[in-house]
Amino acid sequence: EVQLVDSGGGLVQPGGSLRLSCVASEFDFGSYPMNWVRQAPGKGLEWVSYIASRTSTIYYADPVKGRFTLSRDNSKNSLFLQMNSLRAEDTAIYYCARGSGYLDIWGQGTPVTV
């Protein structure tokens, strides 16, 4: 089954760090751009970051620019989000999602509480 599995969330103090992971299975991970999208409690969806499939192209939403770093390891079918200098407003469920426009496959989400 084509799927993404998110992990790495947890409870952290303001100013702390977390590293989220997303592992892909049953598709050619290295051929797809990937994203992180977050959802604060009771709120809507907010795009966080994008990484192209095989180039170094990476984009960040303004609220996380300079604090979050997105990377991928295509040999391990894995996507990573290093989150530093965390703030209360970063509290959310974080989803990894596949695609460069519409997002067709989503992870189950990993909760981050700051």
Q: Please give the residue ranges that form the binding site for other proteins (CB under 8 A).
A: 35, 44-47, 50, 59, 61, 95, 100-104, 106-109
In the complex, what is the shortest distance from the CB of residue 3 to other proteins, in angstroms, rounded to a whole number? 11
Q: Give the residue with the Cβ less far from other proteins, 16 or 58.
A: 58
In the complex, what is the shortest distance from the CB of residue 52 to other proteins, in angstroms, rounded to a whole number? 12
In the complex, what is the shortest distance from the CB of residue 56 to other proteins, in angstroms, rounded to a whole number? 16
DSSP string for the chain:
--EEEEE--EE--TT--EEEEEEEESS-GGGS-EEEEEE-TT--EEEEEEE-SSS--EEE-GGGTTTEEEEEEGGGTEEEEEE-S--GGG-EEEEEEE-SSS--EE---EEEE-
